[in-house]
Structure 1
Amino acid sequence: MHDTTLKALADRFGLTLRGDPDHRVGSLATLASAGPGDVSFLANPAYARDLAECRAGAVIIGEDLAGRWSGNALISKNPYASWARIAAFLQPLPAAEPGVHASAVVAEDAQVDPSASVGPQASVGAGARIGRNVVVGPGCVIAEDAVIGDDSRLVGRVYIGPQCRLGERVLVHPGAVIGADGFGLAMDAGQWIKVPQMGTVVIGDDCEIGANTTIDRGAIEDTELAEDVRLDNQVQIAHNVRIGAHTAIAGCVGIAGSTHIGSYCMIAGACGIGGHLSICDKVIVTAMSTVLDSITEPGEYGSGIPARPHARWKRILVRLGQLDDWVRRLRRLERNQS
Structure 2
Amino acid sequence: MNQKHYKLEQLAHFIQGELIGNPELDIHGLASLAFATDKNISFVNGEKYLEQAKCSKAGVLIVTEELKDHLSSNFSNFLVVKDPYLAFATLTHVFEPKREQFHIESTAQIHPSAIISDSAYIGHYVVINENCVVGDGTVIESHSKIDTGVEIGQHCFIDSHVTITGFSTIGNNVRIHANTVIGGEGFGFAPYQGQWHRIAQLGSVIIGNNVRIGSNCSIDRGALDDTVLSNGVIIDNLVQIAHNVHIGENTAIASKTGIAGSTVIGKNCILAGACGVAGHIKIADNVTLTGMSMVTKSIFEAGTYSSGTGLFESGQWRRTIVRLRQLADVPLTKVIKRLDHIQTQVESIESNLKMRK
Q: How does 1:14-163 map to 2 (within 5 A)?
A: 14-70=16-72, 71=75, 72-89=77-94, 91-163=95-167
Measured against aligned partners, the alpha-carbon deviations of 1:112-160 in whole angstroms (never above 9, x if no partner) come to 1111111011100111111111111011000001001011010111000
Relative to structure 1, is the Cα distance of residues 107 and 330 closer, same or farther in structure 2, using a 3 angstrom cutoff?
closer
In the aligned structure 2, how far is the partner of 1:96 from the partner of 1:22?
27
Relative to structure 1, is the Cα distance of residues 335 and 23 closer, same or farther in structure 2, using a 3 angstrom cutoff?
closer
Does the 8 A contact of 1:143 with 1:163 survive in 2?
A: yes
Matched AA of 2:45: A
Matched AA of 2:176: V
Matched AA of 1:181: E
Partner secondary structure for residue 84 of structure 1 = helix
Relative to structure 1, is the Cα distance of residues 330 and 163 closer, same or farther in structure 2, using a 3 angstrom cutoff?
closer
- Tell me the number of residue pairs that the alignment of Structure 1 and Structure 2 aligns: 337
2:6 is the counterpart of 1:4? yes
Partner secondary structure for residue 65 of structure 2 = coil
Structure 1: segments with no counterpart, 5+ residues: none
Q: Give how far 1:309 is off.
A: 1.3
In the aligned structure 1, how far is the partner of 2:286 from the partner of 2:339?
44
Structure 2: segments with no counterpart, 5+ residues: 346-357
2:231 is the counterpart of 1:227? yes
Does the 8 A contact of 2:166 with 2:203 survive in 1?
A: no
Q: 2:248 is matched with which residue?
A: 244
Q: TM-score, normalised by structure 2?
A: 0.90
Matched AA of 1:82: A
Does the 8 A contact of 1:96 with 1:117 survive in 2?
A: no
Q: 2:298 is matched with which residue?
A: 294
Matched AA of 1:133: G
Q: TM-score, normalised by structure 1?
A: 0.94
Percent identity of the aligned residues? 36
2:319 is the counterpart of 1:315? yes
2:198 is the counterpart of 1:198? no
RMSD: 1.9
Q: Give how far 1:316 is off.
A: 1.3
In the aligned structure 1, how far is the partner of 2:15 from the partner of 2:320?
52
Q: Give how far 1:179 is off.
A: 0.3
Q: Which has the larger radius of gyration?
A: 2
Matched AA of 2:85: Y
In the aligned structure 2, how far is the partner of 1:152 from the partner of 1:283?
29
Does the 8 A contact of 1:118 with 1:136 survive in 2?
A: yes
Measured against aligned partners, the alpha-carbon deviations of 1:7-30 in whole angstroms (never above 9, x if no partner) come to 221122111222222222121111
Partner secondary structure for residue 187 of structure 1 = strand
Q: Give how far 1:169 is off.
A: 0.7
Matched AA of 2:84: P
